[in-house]
Amino acid sequence: MVERVLFTELERAVGQAWERGWQPAEVVRETRRELGRAAGSLVTDLVIAENRRYPAARVAPEWAAQVRELGAPWWGSDAVRPGELAERHGSSRGAYVGTALCALAVLGALAPLQVFLPPPGQARAGAAVDGGGVDPGKLARIRALLAKAEATDFPEEAEALTARAQQMMARHRVDHAALAAEAGTESEVGGRRLPLDAPYEQHKAILLNVVADANACRSVWHRNLGMCTVMGLTEDVNAVEMLFTSLLVQATRAMRSAGSTRDALGRSRTRSFRSSFLSAFAARIGERLNESAHAEQDRAVHEYAQAGTDLLPVLASKEHQVEEAVAEAFPELESAQLNHSNNVQGWRAGRAAADSAALHTGQRIEA
């Protein structure tokens, strides 16, 4: 009886999380952050089980993809039994009850979030995925450029590859605006939440913010949840996620290659070094991203102007649209002064690493 009641309550709590705007990957991640791997594994199974209640046609493709990435159900095609769940997630019945009750507490305390995907069962049957006019082939080329930038050991090559990727993003944004203006259509502002894992969450949030700003988006940091919401047009949000992920890989690799640091007395300065490193990296990347993106946008706008199409009012309108959406979604949004480490060695190393991943216009690299 205890196992059945716990299963029912846990499944109900998962369903209530969807009503509060949470998505499958976010619920599992938050449980792991609060309670650890064991509770996260239990909630993973519950999320998979709960989502199998809905017809596939009434589940948004992005939602279904998140559930698939959590893994296949170990219980097969049948419905999971409460007793089987208890045996799998507890060394004893008492241990399972403790884990389940803690998971219930976390699920019940989830704060409301903005709804960016329709919950399962509420998606329209046969609705097409809104790609925001995104060219899949162009996105694939951008991903390939960034993957090469992450893999290369030569700073100049990483610089040129990343610069070219940013240029393609900026150009795609202008081309999409031109097509929308010609067709008389308007793109809707959407949002996506990106996880920021420890350590150095605030410095990662700063890096994401400068990437979002350079790509006509806005980023909002949820300090207590370890994630950021990026709002903008679909194609721009895609660009932000790709570029941020790549730059974070490059920054982490450069930071770790610097090794640990100590002061004159032999005391560890590694944490302050890395904090300053990431702060400087984000600041310098922001400068170079804006240089590259603005230069390419100005070039594209000039080309369209020569052809008789003035895109400046269109681009300004889209920027205003994003600002309004952010203000509506976060009416109590505040700016905070973040703490910066005063480790000079780390600051210099961070700017040097950002220069290596520089985003100024380099030699054109055709896909």
Sheet of strand 218-222, all strands in order from the earlier edge strand to the far edge: 189-195, 227-233, 218-222
Interhelix angle 270-306/234-257, rounded to 10 degrees, is 140
- pLDDT-based confidence at 350, cuts 50/70/90? confident
Residue 236, token pair as written in the block: 């721009």
Residue 353 has pLDDT above 60, yes or no: yes
Whole-angstrom CA distances from 221 to 20, 50, 76, 336 are 18, 29, 39, 10
Distance CA 260, CA 203 (A): 18
- Mean residue pLDDT of the chain comes to 84
Asked if 217 and 240 count as a contact pair (C-beta separation under 8 A), the reply is: yes
Residue 7 has pLDDT above 90, yes or no: yes
Distance CA 40, CA 225 (A): 15
Distance CA 132, CA 129 (A): 9
Residue 219, token pair as written in the block: 């980023």
- The pLDDT assigned to 315 comes to 84
The DSSP symbol for 268 reads B
Give, rounded to a whole angstrom, the gap between the first and last alpha carbons of the chain: 61
Ranges 28-37, 162-171, 284-293, most confident:
28-37
Report residue 72: phi and psi, to 5°. -85, 145
- The pLDDT assigned to 260 comes to 64
Count of CB atoms situated within 10 Å of the CB of 87: 13
> Which is nearest to 120 in space by CA: 24, 49, 51?
51
Which has the higher per-residue pLDDT, 54 or 343?
Answer: 54
- The pLDDT assigned to 365 comes to 37
pLDDT per position as a tens digit, 201-251: 999 999 999 999 989 999 999 999 999 999 999 889 988 998 998 888 888
Q: Are strands 218-222 and 189-195 parallel, antiparallel or unpaired?
A: unpaired
- Provide the 3-class DSSP secondary structure of residue 45: helix
- The pLDDT assigned to 367 comes to 34
